[in-house]
Amino acid sequence: MVSDVRIYIEGGGDGKNTKALIRQGFRQFLNPLVEIAKSQKTKLDIIMCGSRNNACRDFRNALISHPEAFNVLLVDAEASVTTKSPWKHLKFRDDWDAPPDIDDSHCHLMVQTMEAWFISDMATLKTFYGQGFQENAISKNANVETIDKDSLARSLNTATRNTTKGEYQKIKHASKLLELLDVDKVRKASPYCDRIFTTLTEIMGASAS
C-alpha cells in the first residue's frame, strides 16, 4: 500500500488550458481509482505532459523529485504490442529504457492510441456526436487494441465528419468523451486499459474489481 500515486499521461498539447481540459476528462474516466484513493487516504495526482517524450521525461524526473510516490507512466503504444512487457515495447519502438529498479507495474499503454478506448463504447460515441454519425465507418473488430492506429484515426474522422460537432479533434473532443465513457465497457474491450485499473487498485491496497 502506498500513500501517494502520481500518473504522468501523454496528451493535452502545449497549452495550460488544453492540458486542464484533458486532465478533467482523465480524472472522470479514472474516477474509480480516484474514489479508491480517497477511501484509502492515498493522494492521487494526474499530470498531463503534452507529448510522449515529455511524459517520459516528466516521469523520469518524478522518480527523483518524488521518490516516495508510486510514479506511473501512461502513453500511447503507437503500434501493435507484441510483448507482455510495456517497457520492452517502448524499448523496441522508442528506444526507451526502463529506469533502474522500475518494473512494468509503473508503465502503462493506451493501445494503440487513446481512440481505441472511444470505439469500445459505441453508444457513447453515437450519443456524443448525434445526427450524422456514421457508425458503419468504425471497425467492428472487437479486439480494439489490434486496430492499426492510422486506420483507427481515419475511421473516426470519417464517422464524425458530417455531425454537428464536426470531425473528431483530439484536443476539442477527447476530454468530453473521456468524461462520458462507460469505464466497464472500455476495460472489457481493452486489456491494457483494464491493467492500469487493476494494477493501481492493488497498489493502493484495495481489492481489484
For position 175, what pLDDT does the model report?
95
Q: Where are the alpha helices (DSSP H) in 6-112?
A: 16-29, 31-39, 52-65, 86-94
User: Which residues, including other chains, have CB under 8 Å from residue 99's CB and lie 6 or more apart?
Assistant: 60, 63
> What is the pLDDT at residue 208?
53
Residue 183: its H or E element: helix 183-189
Per-residue pLDDT of the chain (209 residues; tens, 9 = 90+): 799 999 999 999 989 999 999 999 999 999 999 999 999 999 999 999 999 999 999 999 999 999 999 999 999 999 999 999 999 999 999 999 999 999 999 999 999 999 999 999 999 999 999 999 999 999 999 999 999 999 999 999 999 999 999 999 998 999 999 999 999 999 999 999 999 999 999 999 876 54
Q: Specify the residue for cell string 456514421.
A: 134
- What's the pLDDT score for residue 46? 98
- Most distant CA pair in the chain, distance: 51
C-alpha cell recorded at residue 40: 484509502
Task: Say what the pLDDT of residue 207 is.
Answer: 63
| Cα angle, residue 65 at apex, residues 64 and 69 outer, rounded to 5° | 90
Alpha-carbon Rg for the chain, nearest whole angstrom, is: 17
User: What's the pTM value of the predicted model, to 2 decimals?
Assistant: 0.95
Q: Is 60 exposed, middle or buried (0-12, 13-18, 19+ CB in 10 A)?
A: middle
**Which pLDDT value is given to residue 44?**
98
User: Which residues 6+ apart lie within 8 Å of 101 measured at CB?
Assistant: none
